[in-house]
Amino acid sequence: MQTQCPECNKQRSISTEELRSSLGMICCEGCSAMFDALELLNDENTDDPLEADEILPALKSSSDEHNGLWRIGYTVCIILFLFQIYFFEGYNLTQNSFLRPWLKTICNSLYCQLPVYKNLNEITILHGAFEATKNDTYIFKTAFSNQSAFDQRYPSIKLTLQNFSGQTFAKRVFQPQEYTKKSANLIGSNISTEITMEIAAPSNKMGGYRFELM
């Protein structure tokens, strides 16, 4: 069999074994261009005119099988890559304010539920107070506002008591269920809430306090 280079029109002989091993792609001996020998295959000089007709289906079948394996491998790699993103960064992605609306739309179509949104940077403390009462107790008050576009879970509150030297002598973290009776424990978007807690007087004399949201 013979084939012809489409670049320099140089003809060359090619065997069935060479076509099979190269899947029809050969390099021109004249101009070094790579081309598909099957497109310009000529079997006029071969002793067996059926040989070219026999090799074409074999080469196409081999090429299709090769491409099919590549597609399967590519699909598997994409699935593994997406699984790694979900496994390692899935929660962080759901807490991204830009991606969350898109993820929520996708999740609604798949009948799944995103984790509750939580971003303390979008909760603003409006005021705080720690005052003694006549009943030998203290009243702790604070108010904060959810500035996010999404509902957020109530944060935990870490209260720290200090003596007159500024040293910490007591601290405690209050969970949402300890200071709010709302069953959902969620603050609506752009909603403010006020918290009031009665705390027993500490044994040490208190010189100051501080609190933070967690």
Any idea how long the chain is?
214
* Dist CA 107 CA 118 (whole Å): 18
Q: Where are the domains of the chain?
A: 2-66, 120-213
* Dist CA 118 CA 7 (whole Å): 64
Look at residue 56 and tell me whether its pLDDT is greater than 60.
no
pLDDT at residue 50 in the model: 43
* Dist CA 195 CA 127 (whole Å): 10
How confident is the model over 115-161, as pLDDT tens digits?
889 999 999 999 999 998 888 899 999 999 999 999 998 999 999 99
* Dist CA 65 CA 84 (whole Å): 29
Integer-rounded Cα Rg, in Å, for the chain is: 37
* Dist CA 112 CA 104 (whole Å): 9
pLDDT at residue 145 in the model: 96
User: Rounded to the nearest 10 degrees, what angle do helices 50-94 and 100-109 cross at?
Assistant: 120
pLDDT at residue 126 in the model: 95
3-class secondary-structure state, position 35: strand
Look at residue 60 and tell me whether its pLDDT is greater than 80.
no
Look at residue 52 and tell me whether its pLDDT is greater than 60.
no
pLDDT at residue 172 in the model: 94
Q: Determine the average pLDDT of the residues in 165-185.
A: 86
Compare 191 and 75 and report the one with higher pLDDT.
191
Look at residue 47 and tell me whether its pLDDT is greater than 60.
no
* Dist CA 170 CA 161 (whole Å): 5
Compare 53 and 28 and report the one with higher pLDDT.
28
- Answer for the pair 76, 37: CB distance below 8 angstroms, yes or no: no
Name the CATH architecture for the domain at 120-213: Sandwich (2.60)
Instruction: Work out the percent of the chain whose per-residue pLDDT is above 90.
Output: 32
Confidence of residue 103 (pLDDT cuts 50, 70, 90): confident
Average pLDDT taken over every residue of the chain: 82
Compare 193 and 86 and report the one with higher pLDDT.
193
Distance of CA 35 to the CA centre of its chain: 42
Strands of the sheet with 208-213, listed across from one edge: 168-174, 157-162, 208-213
